[in-house]
Every structure is written in C-alpha cells, then in structure tokens.
Structure 1
Amino acid sequence: MVVTTLPASAPMVVRTTEVPDPGPLLELLPEDFPMAWVRQGEGVVGWGQAARFDTIGANRFVAADRWWRRMVGTAVVRDEVRLPGSGPVAFGSFAFDDVPGSSSLVLPDTVVGHRSGRWWVTTIDVTGNLPGGAALPDVSRARRPAAVAYADGAHSGTEWEAIVAEAVRRITAGELEKVVLARDLIAESPEPIDLRWPLQRLSDGYPHCWTFSVDGMIGATPELLVRRERGLVTSRVLAGTIRRTGDDEHDLALAASLARSSKDLEEHEYAVRSVADALAPFCSSMNVPESPFVLHLPNVMHLATDLAGVTDSDASSLALAAALHPSAAVGGTPTAVALDVIREIEGLDRARYAGPVGWMDGRGDGEWGIALRSAEVSGSRLRLFAGCGIVAGSDPAAELAESVAKLVPMRDALSS
C-alpha cells in the first residue's frame, strides 16, 4: 500500500539563499509539525509540508527513493550555497520491520541549514512558481510539558526479563548468535506535547548525538547508520553498553572493563561485521578499524567503531541505509533468524523504533541514523523505546538495568 501526496503537474521550484546567523536551529521551529536533524548546533530543520510520500511493506525504501528521484529529477533549483543539505531536502522516518508500521518521506516548504560557519534558507513551491524570499517567521517559545505519568508498555520489567531469558536459551542452544530485544514505556501528559521542548533538552544534554524529529518520531540517536557525502560513505556502529555512575574515576574503570569485556566485544564484532558486509558492494575501498573505542555519553558508555568507504555508485544515502538495515546492532545475527525470533518472542510493535531516520538532499547525499533513544508521539501520549543486544553471556536483570539507562534521555527531556 502506498499513499502519496503529490504536487501538481508543474515542476518543483526550489530557492536556497545564504543568510546571516539566524540563531540556534531548534529555536527557529514552529510548534506545528517540526522537523529536525541537529548535532552540535549544525544540521537542518524544516517546517510546513510541500509534499510527502507514505508507504508500508518490504518495498518501502525503494518506493520512497524512486519517488524522491522523480521529484528532484524535474525540479528547478536555484542554490547559491551548494553544500550537503542545501537545495531540496526531504526528511524521512522508516518502519523497523516490513509489517506492521508506516514509513514516510516529507518535503517541507521551508528548510534552514547550518554547516561550517554558513547558514541558509531553502524555500520550496510545488505549483511551479518561484518561492518567496528567506524571511523567517516569528515563533513562540517552546512550552514545557505538564506533569508526565509513566506506565508499562507491552510488558512489565519482570515479563521482559523472562523474554530475555528465553532469547539466551535459544542462543545457548545454537539457534542464533545474537538478538536485539526492545521494550517500551508509555508516557501520558494532560495536554499535547510541544515537541520543541524535548528536542531542545535532548540537544543540550546530548550534543554529540543526532537530535531528530520526523513525522512524530523524536529522539537523540548516538548511532549514525550511514552518511553519504560527495562520494564518501561513513557509518558509526555502537554495540556493547555500560551504565555511567556519575563518578568520573569509577566511570573510567568501567570504560576499561567494557573495552575488555568478551561478551560486549563479541556483540560489537557482530554489529561491525554486518555493516561492513552490507557496505562492501557499494564501496571501492573501505577502512574498518580493528578495535572499537569507548564512546562516553552522559548516561551510558558504548563500544563504538567508525567505518569509512569511497563509493562510485549512484546509490543514494537512502538506498545505502536500506542496504544496511537492519544491522546486527538493532536486529541480530544471523539477521533473518534474529528477526524471526524478535517477531516470535518480543511481543512488541516497534513501529519506527530502530528504523532509519534522517534526511536526503537532491543529490542523494544525506545522513540516516538509527531511531534510538527515541519516542513515538501522538498528541499527549508517547511511547518511549529502548533495546539491548542479547548474546550467550547476557544476564536478564543486567539487560533490564541497561534498558532503564537507555530510557533516561527521553524521560529527562520530558521532565527537565
């Protein structure tokens, strides 16, 4: 099933104009339908809806990529900036699994970007007319959420521990090597959530993550699935996690233990191998570090590896994201077996959690993260998600504690 909001027969007309520093990107967003992809103050934000493409099913990535190519193939573009993220930009959020869950690619009518000391505004018209200038609207301040109440999602903590134990049993029996299991937490507010509030809190608290908002899916992901930029392809793989204590000396000792942990190194190796294998057909050369580094975030530490490659392929960033999804970091190993186990025992509709989220420009360049440390928002109700990689040495109670730590960013963003 595909639902498409298409422009009229006239070509899309796009104007990108360089502007002086307009201030923090997230503070430019209106309350209605904000879209964002921001890290350390740089990135792109957008609002309005010039066109969109909604789809479900196994063909969702190919269908969305084809739609975008058609849109930009006939576009009239005036771009005086010519940086990745200038010109026409679509924001996307995709379902984790083939079914259920919808996926969308949204073309805003206004996009503001910031990169390397330059700022620009892109305006889009899909009726064939040259869009107006680069004036930015006045917006209200973000509204703090009213008191938020939390409740178990699909499973209680005890029930989820039993699911983890079943996964460990299957791994020990040799059915698979690793599976990633997710859980959700329900948050309710007396009134609709102003998404700009948690977005600004996430960006401030986790500046080294990619803060995103696309079609009601918000979060701050530490994991870059893929970036395509002028022939260079990069990916950041995270797998293997330990919770921080707040004591710097103790945390350094924990980081050292994480770097030596056979269980976590095994989990990480699976994830790196799955990404490298998926990117290899698109790259003429690749650099895959032999050992991971420890990525320090405010709430947790991860084993991390940054991969890089050179591509001569015309595959877009979205096509590369589709080839990578789902990596072992969010699915498991072997992939097909892990996905079957997830469908059988997880008992959770992930929707767009752990699916690709990000943006793509008219040249096919873009950035796609994995929708982690995230929430699906519907009015005053949110579903918060967290997931953990399960291998033979996993302890259900420890995995539950890890999932609680991974829920902290979204919980703090709603209460701070």
Structure 2
Amino acid sequence: MPSGPTGHAGELRLTLVTSAPVTAPVPQLVARSVEIPDPGPLLSLLPDTSPYAWVRGGQGLVGWGEAARVETSGAHRFAELEAWWRTLINTAVVRDEVQLPGSGPVAFGSFTFDDEPGTSTLVLPETIVGHRDGRWWVTTVSVAGNLPPLPTLPSATSVRRPGAISFADGQLTGADWEIVVASAVDRINAGELEKVVLARDLVAESPHPIDTRWPLRRLGEHYSRCWTFSVDGLLGATPELLVRRERGLVTSRVLAGTIRRTHDDVHDLALAASLARSSKDLEEHEFAVRSVADALAPYCSSMNVPETPFVLHLSNVMHLATDVTGVASGQASSLAMAAALHPSAAVGGTPTDRAIELIRELEGLDRGRYAAPIGWIDSAGDGEWGIALRCAQLDPSDPTRMRLFAGCGIVAGSNPAEELAESAAKLIPMRDALVR
C-alpha cells in the first residue's frame, strides 16, 4: 500500500481512493477551483454520508467524497500528518482561479486529545464548496492524473429527524463526577498544580440511525457565532478558535470562565458583569491566555495580548474571551501552530504535564477527539483550527448512538456542584440540536 512518512511513536496509514491497485505509486493529484453562483446554504449541500464542514455565520467550507486520507496515532501525529500533506501538495497540479484562503485543495483534519489511544486523520475531499465575503467557489480533486470535471452541486435536501432521543450517563454519573472534581480541588489546594480541566460524557440514543446533517443544520442556525464542524462523525459548534493563519496573520481566541445565561436581558447583563469581576474565573482565564501566548511566541515576530478579557455572549452561556493576535515570523503552517498550542490550559490545565497526568488519573474517560484540534489546512499552509468543544461523536459501530462531551476548568475556588451545572449548560447545544 502507498505510504507516507512514518514516526517511531505511531503507525501511519494512507488510503487513496482510486481505481488503481493499492500497490501502484501514489497517483498524481490534480485540483481546480472556480467561482460559482450562490448555491444556497453550505450546510444544506452536504450528502448523508461522511460530510465535512467548517462553517461560521454561513461562511466557510464543506466537502464530501474522499480523494485521499491519512491516519496516524501517537506523540508525533501532528508532524506526521503535516509531512504527508506537504508531500501531497508539493507534487500536485493546482489550477486555482479563486485565490482565497480555503480555495485550491483543502484537507479537513481531526486529532485525538491524547497521544494514545485513538486515530488522528487528514482527509482531502473530492469536492469542496466554499463561501467567503460574497464569493462562492467549488474545488474538485482528482487522483487519476487528469483535470477533474466540474461537479453538479446537489440541491438542498431534506434530512431525517433523529426521532425520540434518550439520554443516559456516560462513564460517570453526575454525583460521581462531582467527587472527581472535589478530588481535583484537593490536589490543587495541596499545591500539585494550578488548574485542571475535567470532562464528562453523556450518551444519546435514537430509535434509528442518526442523520448527522440534522444536528449540523440546527447548530449552524442557533450558534452562528460558533464554528460548526464535522469530520469523521465528530460534529459540533465550537466557540473557541485555537488558531487561524491567514496570509501571515495569526489569531487565537481563548475562552475560559463560563456562566449560564437566563435569557432575561437585564439579569444576563448583571451576570456578565459578575463574570468579568470573578476572581476564580479571571484566574482560570489568565492561565489559558498565558499558555496560548507562550506557545505562539516562537512563531510570531510581534504579538498583541490584551490585558483584560471581554465577555462573549452565546445563546446558552457567556464566556470570558481574549483574542490573541500576531504576525507570523516564518513559514510554519496553521497545523504546526495548532500542534504547538495543544493542549492549552483551556482544555488541559496548568502546568500542562501535571494537568494531563491528573486527567488520566481521575477522569476515567476516553476523550477520543474531544477538546482537540479540528479544522482545515490549504495548500499554502493557511487554515483554521478550532478546539472540538460542544460536540458529539457518532458511534462508528452503532449509528443510533452518540457520545456528547463537556468539560470545566477546575481551580482552587471551584465548587463541584457549580461545575456540574456548568457542564450541563455546555451540553445544551448538542442536546438541543438532536431533539429540536
């Protein structure tokens, strides 16, 4: 089978979707992008199998089909997948009439939170449709060595409601998870670390296979300020942009510190003010911002790190938020920057190594690709990578089941019952997307 670069820590597996024998050399990649009229909402174009999506406010990218795929695991998963992508792109023939970030060949990617277990993936779809600033385009990809024909884009299709969804505790009950949080607070107060992020899961079951386009459309409608994503059955709407690299500019949105909305405007304004003054939440936020700024510094010639956060208002919660920006100093790709940032204090803790050890010890949960980088990279290395939050994973062996995830930053002042309530608020987007 054709193979990409390998590392000693993981096994790299490359699948090329082609009619050629698997023993043949890697075929020539040919891609072209052309502008098209408005085809309608991006998320409405997706087929019912293996949809890929990265959409915010109606703009972004969707894709389907697979021209090429690579999978790996282990500590070197980011470097291995980027090396594969560079090799593929360096030998590609690209006709790009659009010349925007995201035009030309684009790989959608999703990574595991931890080195083991699980598989991290980059996928190059056969068809990619993009929308940005009033321009729409389609990219077609061929691995047969000749220019691919322009596709006939599908019309918006109806999708099947999931039916009567039932929810059940995942690895831990709420009460048991509170005990885990209390243990973490004790360890923090003992001076072992400053912060740790603990996650919990919820299992959703449907009477028939779940059409993932249903929750994707609901998330896109109700959380338009978030990045709605879908890669290999992992879907959600994340409010947190891990990193964007675009023509030399670097951006990262850091979220840490959360309060639930009441949908009473006056009360919510008061809650936002209390969040902005909360010493516990400000401390948690400072850890997260510091970890992002330190990780991006080697890649930037200059950086702007605001001294105080703003309050980001979403449909169900409010977050303390800070946008860290910089000017790239070299050729490092968006994926390389995402690798340097993961795991940030917002999803791991501080100090990172000790926090990850405590997560492994206390959490009792296989996070899979929850709270890890998910997004896309183009042929120039530009791209956007979010953190897979407010999300669910379709069970690959049982399409009637999904695992929903939520996590909370635990610091010295954390109250287990309040953290459980916060986690419940963070589960609302996916719960509502399935049942509405």
Show the counterpart of 1:341. Answer: 358
1:237 Cα shift?
0.1
Partner of 1:59: 76
2:192 corresponds to: 175
Please show how residues 76-87 of structure 1 align to structure 2 within 5 Å: 76-87=93-104
The corresponding residue for 1:4 is 14
Report SS of the residue matched to 2:236. Answer: strand
The one-letter amino acid of 1:317's match is S
Match of 2:271 in 1: 254
Structure 1 residue aligned with 2:428: 408
What are the within-5 Å matches in structure 2 for residues 370-385 of structure 1?
370-378=387-395, 379-385=399-405
Aligned-pair CA distance for 1:312: 2.5
Separation of aligned partners in 2, 1:9 and 1:344 = 43
Does the 8 Å contact 2:45/2:157 carry over to 1?
A: no
Query: Structure 1, residues 186-232: CA drift from partner, whole Å, max 9, x if none?
Result: 00111111111100000100000000000110000000000000000
Show the counterpart of 1:352: 369
Unaligned runs of 5+ in 2: 1-10, 19-24
2: CA distance, partners of 1:252 / 1:360 = 38
Of 287, 299, 302, 1:282 maps to 299
- Which of 19, 31, 39 aligns to 1:14? It is 31
d(CA) in 2 for partners of 1:10 and 1:102? 24
Indicate whether 1:69 and 2:89 are aligned: no
Q: Once the 2 structures are TM-superposed, how far is the Cα of residue 3 of structure 1 from its aligned partner?
A: 1.4
Is residue 104 of structure 1 aligned with residue 143 of structure 2?
Answer: no
**8 A Cα contact 1:85 1:366, kept in partner:** yes
Q: Is the 8 A contact 1:242 1:301 kept in 2?
A: yes
Residue 57 of structure 2 aligns with which residue?
40
Counterpart of 1:157 in structure 2: which amino acid?
Answer: G
Q: Cα offset for 1:101? A: 1.6
Structure 1: gaps (5+ residues): none
Determine the structure 1 residue equivalent to 2:21: none
| Match for residue 228 of structure 2 among 211, 220, 234 | 211
Aligned equivalents of 1:404 and 1:211: distance in 2? 20
Q: Secondary structure at the match of 1:165?
A: helix
1:361 is matched with 378
- CA positional deviation for 1:234: 0.2
Deviation at 1:235, TM superposition (A): 0.3
AA aligned opposite 1:265: L
Q: Deviations over 1:54-105 (max 9, x none)?
A: 1111110000000000111100000000100000000001000001121110
| 8 A Cα contact 1:240 1:265, kept in partner | yes
How far apart, in 1, do the equivalents of 2:323 and 2:155 lie?
Answer: 39
State the percentage of identical aligned residues.
71
CA distance in structure 2 between the partners assigned to 1:181 and 1:218 by the alignment = 20
Code of the residue aligned with 2:420 in structure 1: it is L
Q: Distance in 2 between matches of 1:315 and 1:391?
A: 33
CA distance in 1 between partners of 2:151 and 2:69 (Å): 22
Query: Which amino acid counterpart does residue 294 of structure 1 have in structure 2?
Result: V
- What amino acid is the match of 2:435? S
Pairs within 5 Å for 1:263-342? 263-342=280-359
Report SS of the residue matched to 1:142: coil
Conserved in 2, the CA contact under 8 Å of 1:182 and 1:385?
yes
- C-alpha separation between the residues in 2 aligned to 1:151 and 1:217? 19
Give, in whole Å, the separation in 2 of the partners of 1:392 and 1:208. 31
| TM-score of the superposed pair, with normalisation by structure 1 | 0.99
Instruction: Report the AA paired with residue 141 of structure 1.
Output: S
Measured against aligned partners, the alpha-carbon deviations of 1:110-150 in whole angstroms (never above 9, x if no partner) come to 00000011000000001101101142134631211111111
- One-letter amino acid of the structure 2 residue matched with residue 55 of structure 1: T
The 3-state SS of whatever aligns with 1:375 is: strand
Residue identity opposite 2:317 in structure 1: V
Instruction: Note the alpha carbon deviations across 1:152-191, whole angstroms, 9 max, x for none.
Output: 0000000000000000000000000000000000001111
Matched, 1:189 2:206: yes
Amino acid at match of 1:415: V
Report the secondary structure of 1:403's partner residue. helix
Counterparts of 2:411 and 2:306, CA distance in 1: 23
Q: What is the CA distance between 1:34 and its match in structure 2?
A: 0.6
Alignment partner, residue 146 of structure 1 = 163
Partner residue of 1:392?
A: 412
Task: Say if 2:106 is the partner of 1:89.
Answer: yes
For 1:330 and 1:123, locate their aligned partners in 2 and report how far apart those are by CA, in whole Å: 36
What do you get for the CA RMSD once the two structures are aligned?
0.8
Runs of 4 or more consecutive aligned structure 1 residues displaced over 4 Å after TM superposition? none
Instruction: Give TM-score, length-normalised by structure 2.
Output: 0.94
| Structure 2: distance between partners of 1:244 and 1:312 | 40
Which residue identity lines up with residue 230 of structure 2 in the other structure? S
CA contact (8 A) 2:73 2:118 kept: yes
Q: 1:315 aligns to what SS in structure 2?
A: coil
How many angstroms apart in 1 are the aligned matches of 2:70 and 2:271? 45
Residues 48 and 109 in structure 1, CA contact (< 8 A), matched pair in contact too: yes
| Cα distance in 1, alignment partners of residues 332 and 208 from structure 2 | 43
Rounded to whole Å, the distance in 2 between the matches of 1:341 and 1:133 is 51
Of 109, 114, 138, 2:131 maps to 114
Contact 1:30–1:139 at 8 Å: present in 2 too? no
Tell me which amino acid in the other structure corresponds to 2:417: A
Q: Which amino acid aligns with 2:312?
A: L
2: CA distance, partners of 1:63 / 1:142: 37
Q: What whole-Å deviation, never above 9, does each CA across 1:351-399 have from its counterpart, x for those lacking one?
A: 0000000001111000000000000112111000000000000000000
Alpha-carbon distance between aligned partners in 1 of 2:70 and 2:270, rounded to the nearest angstrom = 48
